[in-house]
Amino acid sequence: MSNWKTLLLRIGEKGPEYGTSSDFKDHIETCFGVIRREIERSGDQVSPYLLQCAEQLPHKIPLYGTLIGLLNLENEDFVRKIVESVQTNFQVALDSGNCNSIRILLRFMTSLLCSKVIQPASLIVVFETLLSSAATTVDEEKGNPSWQAQADFYVICILSSLPWGGAELAEQVPDEIERVLVGIQAYLSIRKHSSSSGLNFFLKGESENSLSEKDFVEDLWDRTQSLASNGWKLDSVPRPHLSFEAQLVAGKFHELRPIKCMEPPSPPSDLSGENIGKQKHDALMRYPQRIRRLNIFPANKTEDVQPIDRFVVEEYLLDVLLYLNGCRKECASYMANLPVPFRYEYLMAETLFSQILLLPQPPFKTLYYTLVIMDLCKALPGAFPAVVAGAVRALFEKISDLDMESRTRLILWFSHHLSNFQFIWPWEEWAYVLDLPKWAPKRVFVQEVLQREVRLSYWDKIKQSIENASALEELLPAKAAPAYKYSLEEGKEKTEEHQLSAELNRKVKEKQSARDMMSWIEETIYPVHGFEVTLTVVIQTLLEIGSKSFTHMVTVLERYGQVFGKLCPDNDKQVMLLSQVSAYWKNNAQMTAVAMDRMMGYRLVSNQAIVRWVFSPENVDQFHVSDQPWEILGNALNKTYNRISDLRKDISNITKNVLVAEKASANARAELEAAESKLSLVEGEPVLGENPGKMKRLKSTVEKTGEAEVSLRESLEAKEALLNRALSETEALLLLLFQSFSAVLKERLPEPTKARSLEDLKPEDENSSAMEVDTENENPKKRSEIGEREQWCLSTLGYLTAFTRQYANEIWPHMEKLKLEVFSGEDVHPLFLQAIFSALQIPLQ
Amino acid sequence: MASLFKEQAKLSAYRDRRFSGTQEEFEEALRTSSTVYIGNVSFYTTEEQIYELFSRAGEIKKIIMGLDKNTKTPCGFCFVLFYSREDTEDAVKYISGTILDDRPIRVDFDWGFQEGRQWGRGRSGGQVRDEYRTDYDPDILFSGYGKLVQKELEAQRQLVDYGTGSLGGSYPAPAPSNYERRAGPRGGGGYGQGGSNRHGRGGDFHRKRQRDDDRYGRDNSRRNSDHETRRDTDQDMRPEKNPRFRESGDSDDDGEDDRKRS
């Protein structure tokens, strides 16, 4: 990398580029000295790279802003072009709804104002345009209040750029900025408080009325007000331009052109609840809330910083996570070395965990945050591991209130994290969970973490890792082989079934074809022994043959899957098949799940059969004591969903290709026509084939491109047909899923009059513990224990909410049908509906 | 997303000698592949452990363990095939350099598995120094006593034998290899697949040529592999192999034209 690029990239960092100095002023001067010369030499390259740095390393924006301010003193033209690019990019971002670009570029412009590059009044115009768009959107008559998410986002962008230039704005254009703030206050009074009860990490106690809680915009407004009342002074944003103030005042301002905001879509013509709900959902998908604050540490532990400083640090961290995703070393190093003068380990942990647990889903896979936490533990070995452990303890204490989806992610993260640190954990602290009933959320949590640890490692290793709490061995999964019925051990009785199994085994070894095997089964076993024995022998034997590894199992299914398919052509029989699989792999949750997953992939069992099996009595009884049925249900939904997304992706690709092919074919035709007409115009040449070679070539191109177009269109039609079929399969699946949930819940939930909210399911004296923040002085065991049936209801409702929320996108299009068939009627339990509606963020009447 | 720090040439530093196309084609294969190569794996690590870890990046299509030609047991590398490219990228980004079975594994894009590539290509060589090895070396993590306990535990585990069992024949003998002397499964130096610390057996020096196995001989296609090889060996119009979710009414649908690479 050339020297000037490295200097731009590494500005503000400790490292070889800037020698021993860690003073921002020195860095800016050094960098400025090199860049001003570089502009002469390769001016065209400097500006895009500089912008790229500012956009992707937003925590250094004040440094880049100051640098540009200095360049402005010498080379107005260069800076004018930069400002123009920023504006163009900003408009493109607005037009395409690119949230991150909009947010960062507005911040960058604010910073350019500090270094006297941008005229303050023209930035105010930008703010006011955004604000007026927001106000129009939430106006019932002129706008479309379902699209409030966009309006909120615009206002958040304004507020969140103020830490970078509030002081300058207040100094230079005090009346105008005041007008903007008044405008924001007015906006706050007309917008609706956004209730996000379905997206909370924790089940809220009644004492915490969700209406009194501030939503993100209201909260940021509070923080901004306190910043304003503090004279716009904050610690988390460096102000390097102050060191150059004397020079910078000589700079010439550049003006910003007016911008245009995206118009929200028009409100649905039919103002039914479904249509509005669907639009709201779409808006939230486009403008998702970046963070939901997770307050897990007691106030005396977290860093004592101004409210706005907390916000800024969160922004820094989220932006590093976003822009340095995939750059492992840089990501960890920037996270650990933010340009702030205070410590922020607790804040960093809360931010990271808030992302892992974020609902409906975080921007990245849990795997990514897992990696970042590992790397930070290694980068800050003295400080961070203890904070992470503290976060785990705090979350563990609240595990019974944690959302089911978040809880599952926590289990996956924690087991994976420990697997990278030799599985060391003070398990003795949690040994007491053995005294709790087997459905106690803490106990189930420990058990599921251990289960995942064993999957990542091996039984003996995990057994060894819990040595200091060896009683917890009881919660380890069984250490046992598959439950094979027909092993030919010495001294064991050999039944006729044993012989059949041995015969089957021999046929596999001889590589008999599936068809031959099927006719043997149909002729020899089925007529004599009946369906159940036949199924047991076949499943047991084939699974045993494939038991050695994942690949062995896949090979068996690949070769003999048809045998299962033939034996179990309908859902009823497939449910029996699944029970057999579960019986064979009863000691191995992972293989049970994997086998069922593959069988569904081969369509040996349908997704509906899996739902029915999951809701069969043997599993329903496990809903609150084990994650296994939920894992299998989740896999089946996930696979169904992935298939739809695959098809959608294919269709969008083919559609693009069709357009290209259309163009190519039209071009070829036009070229041919042009050639034909051209020839006819040639005078004195009676023969048309002046250049028969060329004509032939053109004709063949027309033919070829035409064929290509037709064949693409055909494959597009084929894919669309597949998608339609997949969507109707999904509808049937969703109906069955919600009906199944509704039925099991109805059987077990208390009378609607006795249980109107989830709180009614919890032990009575627990209301007092809703306020417990400081658990140190309290004995955790003292809390009253929840009854088995109540916990079953809470777990099942929790998963109902989790699945509904996860697949909300796929559920909305089928809402009418679902309402008609499952969500209405007198015998539908209100808590069942509440679980679904909160997940879809539909307000309950 | 982050383009500032991406080193362009970093797709893979290794060039598999079995890849018969040009460098550009090789890079294109890496850019579009949904296969990863995983190195520095413990010999005892099972497919199920790999499944558990890698399925956190996305649905897994297939796992192929790298096997010792002679013992038919794992020898320290494997391939994982995903259904989607995005998941493949995430596996490389987020799993490479992390610990599996106490070893920092490396995960790289691979140009596509072909029958034959599961066999170790030579005698055991030294382990390539992993990118993150210096930071996260297991020897640093395990000091003295812990390391001993570790080894004792390891010794209790069993290597999965892929050579025997009722499915015998699903793992055919490896085709004769011209690469025996090369260090790793991917040729081009440095990819040793076995420090003796991982298996407690000495290296293998089996060089006897084995009979050509026709069924798996036609693997010269440099295109992705799995698909094409099957086309060659299987009858046409067979339902998709290792489907994520097969079409209903399967055998009527080919449903795989789209999987073909262009």
User: CB contact, 8 Å: B149 with chain A?
Assistant: yes
pLDDT at A480: 82
* Residue of A814, A796, A769 whose CA lies nearest to A627: A796
User: Taking CB atoms and an 8 Å limit, are A550 and B63 in contact across chains?
Assistant: yes
User: Taking CB atoms and an 8 Å limit, are A509 and B51 in contact across chains?
Assistant: no
pLDDT at A476: 96
CA A223/CA A306 separation, integer angstroms: 8
Contact by Cβ (8 Å): A729, A636: no
Q: Where does the pLDDT of residue B129 fall: very low under 50, low under 70, confident under 90, or very high at 90 and above?
A: very low
Q: Could you report the per-residue pLDDT of A717-754, keeping only the tens digit for each? A: 999 999 999 999 999 999 999 999 999 999 999 888 78
Other beta carbons within 10 angstroms of residue A62's beta carbon come to 26
pLDDT at A345 over 60: yes
pLDDT at A60 over 70: yes
- Enumerate the residues of chain A whose CB falls inside 8 A of the CB of residue B257: 715
CA A667/CA A693 separation, integer angstroms: 19
Residue in B with minimal Cα distance to A366: B56
pLDDT at A806 over 70: yes
CA A808: distance to chain centroid? 13
Q: Where does the pLDDT of residue A683 fall: very low under 50, low under 70, confident under 90, or very high at 90 and above?
A: low
Q: Could you report the per-residue pLDDT of A64-84, keeping only the tens digit for each? A: 999 999 999 999 999 999 999
Q: Could you report the per-residue pLDDT of B1-51, keeping only the tens digit for each? A: 457 886 544 566 567 767 778 888 888 888 999 999 999 999 999 999 999
- Give exposure, B81-103, as e/b (b: 16+ Cβ within 10 Å): bbbbeebbbbbbbbbbbbbbbbb
User: CB contact, 8 Å: A723 with chain B?
Assistant: no
Chain B contacts in chain A segment 566-605 (CB below 8 A): 590-591, 594, 600-603
Q: Could you report the per-residue pLDDT of A140-152, keeping only the tens digit for each? A: 889 999 999 999 9
- Enumerate the residues of chain A whose CB falls inside 8 A of the CB of residue B242: 554, 558, 601
User: Taking CB atoms and an 8 Å limit, are A550 and B160 in contact across chains?
Assistant: no
pLDDT: is A277 or A417 the higher one? A417
A53, A368, A546 ranked by CB distance to B94: nearest: A368
Q: Where does the pLDDT of residue A173 fall: very low under 50, low under 70, confident under 90, or very high at 90 and above?
A: very high
Other beta carbons within 10 angstroms of residue A788's beta carbon come to 14
User: Taking CB atoms and an 8 Å limit, are B245 and A643 in contact across chains?
Assistant: yes
Residue in B with minimal Cα distance to A591: B48
Residue entry with tokens 């699946």: A733
Other beta carbons within 10 angstroms of residue A628's beta carbon come to 20
pLDDT at A366 over 50: yes
Q: Where does the pLDDT of residue A633 fall: very low under 50, low under 70, confident under 90, or very high at 90 and above?
A: very high
Residue B234 class from Cβ within 10 Å (0-12 exposed, 13-18 middle, 19+ buried)? Answer: exposed
CA A544/CA A486 separation, integer angstroms: 9
User: CB contact, 8 Å: A324 with chain B?
Assistant: yes
Q: Where does the pLDDT of residue B166 fall: very low under 50, low under 70, confident under 90, or very high at 90 and above?
A: low
pLDDT at B113: 83
CA A307/CA A299 separation, integer angstroms: 13
Amino acid sitting at position A51? L
CA B166/CA A799 separation, integer angstroms: 41
Model pTM? 0.89
Q: How far apart are the CA of B167 and the nearest CA of chain A, in angstroms?
A: 6
CA A594/CA A585 separation, integer angstroms: 10
Q: Where does the pLDDT of residue B103 fall: very low under 50, low under 70, confident under 90, or very high at 90 and above?
A: very high
Range scoring the smallest mean pLDDT among A398-412, A659-673, A773-787, B190-204: B190-204
* Residue of A291, A327, A292 whose CA lies nearest to A57: A327
Q: What does pLDDT average to over chain A?
A: 91
Residue A16 class from Cβ within 10 Å (0-12 exposed, 13-18 middle, 19+ buried)? Answer: exposed
pLDDT at A759: 77
User: Taking CB atoms and an 8 Å limit, are A327 and B97 in contact across chains?
Assistant: no
Q: Could you report the per-residue pLDDT of A263-321, keeping only the tens digit for each? A: 999 888 877 777 888 899 999 999 999 999 998 998 888 888 999 999 999 999 999 99
User: CB contact, 8 Å: B153 with chain A?
Assistant: yes
Q: Is B19 helix (H, G, I), strand (E, B) or coil?
A: coil
The interface predicted TM-score (ipTM) is 0.93
CA A490/CA A18 separation, integer angstroms: 76
CA A52/CA A29 separation, integer angstroms: 20
CA A160/CA A153 separation, integer angstroms: 10
CA A244/CA A240 separation, integer angstroms: 7
Lookup: tokens for A604: 């040996």
Residue in A with minimal Cα distance to B99: A420
Q: Could you report the per-residue pLDDT of A197-242, keeping only the tens digit for each? A: 788 899 875 444 455 678 999 999 999 999 999 999 999 999 999 9
pLDDT at B193 over 50: no
Percent of chain A with pLDDT over 70: 94
CA A48/CA A699 separation, integer angstroms: 46
CA A465: distance to chain centroid? 32
Q: Where does the pLDDT of residue A129 fall: very low under 50, low under 70, confident under 90, or very high at 90 and above?
A: very high
pLDDT at A3: 87
Q: Could you report the per-residue pLDDT of A566-619, keeping only the tens digit for each? A: 999 999 999 999 999 999 999 999 999 999 999 999 999 999 999 999 999 999
CA A13/CA A8 separation, integer angstroms: 10
pLDDT at A679: 62
- Enumerate the residues of chain B whose CB falls inside 8 A of the CB of residue A602: 243, 246
User: CB contact, 8 Å: B99 with chain A?
Assistant: yes
Q: Could you report the per-residue pLDDT of A525-559, keeping only the tens digit for each? A: 999 999 999 999 999 999 999 999 999 999 999 99
- Enumerate the residues of chain A whose CB falls inside 8 A of the CB of residue B1: 322-323, 325-326
User: CB contact, 8 Å: A640 with chain B?
Assistant: yes
Which regions of chain B does DSSP assign to beta strands (E)?
Answer: 35-39, 60-67, 74-82, 99-100, 103-104, 106-110
pLDDT at B11: 61
Residue in B with minimal Cα distance to A326: B93
Chain A contacts in chain B segment 56-95 (CB below 8 A): 56-57, 59, 62-65, 83-84, 89-90, 93-95
Q: How far apart are the CA of A172 and the nearest CA of chain B, in angstroms?
A: 35
pLDDT at B6: 66
User: Taking CB atoms and an 8 Å limit, are B98 and A374 in contact across chains?
Assistant: yes
Q: Where does the pLDDT of residue B220 fall: very low under 50, low under 70, confident under 90, or very high at 90 and above?
A: very low
Lookup: tokens for B137: 């070396």
pLDDT at A778: 44
Residue in A with minimal Cα distance to B84: A646
B63, B165, B258 ranked by CB distance to A548: nearest: B165
- Enumerate the residues of chain A whose CB falls inside 8 A of the CB of residue B164: none
pLDDT at B189 over 50: no
Contact by Cβ (8 Å): A130, A260: no
User: CB contact, 8 Å: B139 with chain A?
Assistant: no
Range scoring the smallest mean pLDDT among A358-372, B93-107, B186-200, B202-216: B202-216
Please give the radius of gyration of chain A, using alpha carbons only, rounded to the nearest integer. Answer: 32
User: CB contact, 8 Å: A173 with chain B?
Assistant: no
Q: How far is CA A681 from CA A177, A669, A687, A688, in A?
A: 70, 18, 11, 10
- Enumerate the residues of chain B whose CB falls inside 8 A of the CB of residue A554: 62, 242
Lookup: tokens for A152: 């909120």
pLDDT at B194 over 70: no
pLDDT at A635: 97
Q: Could you report the per-residue pLDDT of A503-530, keeping only the tens digit for each? A: 999 999 999 999 999 999 999 899 999 9
pLDDT at A499 over 70: yes
DSSP for A437-486 reads -TT-HHHHHHHHHHHHHHHHS-HHHHHHHTGGGGGGGGGSPP------TT
Edge-to-edge order in the sheet of strand B106-110? B60-67, B74-82, B35-39, B106-110
Chain A contacts in chain B segment 199-238 (CB below 8 A): none
DSSP for A626-682 reads -SHHHHHHHHHHHHHHHHHHHHHHHHHHHHHHHHHHHHHHHHHHHHHHHHHHHHHH-
pLDDT at A688: 58
pLDDT at B136 over 60: no
Angle at A555 between CA B112 and CA A589, to 5 degrees: 100
* Residue of A592, A399, A623 whose CA lies nearest to A478: A592
pLDDT at B254 over 60: no
Amino acid sitting at position A642? N
CA A652/CA A765 separation, integer angstroms: 56
- Enumerate the residues of chain A whose CB falls inside 8 A of the CB of residue B252: none
pLDDT at A805 over 50: yes
* Residue of A793, A776, A792 whose CA lies nearest to A832: A793
Q: Is A525 helix (H, G, I), strand (E, B) or coil?
A: helix
User: CB contact, 8 Å: A452 with chain B?
Assistant: yes
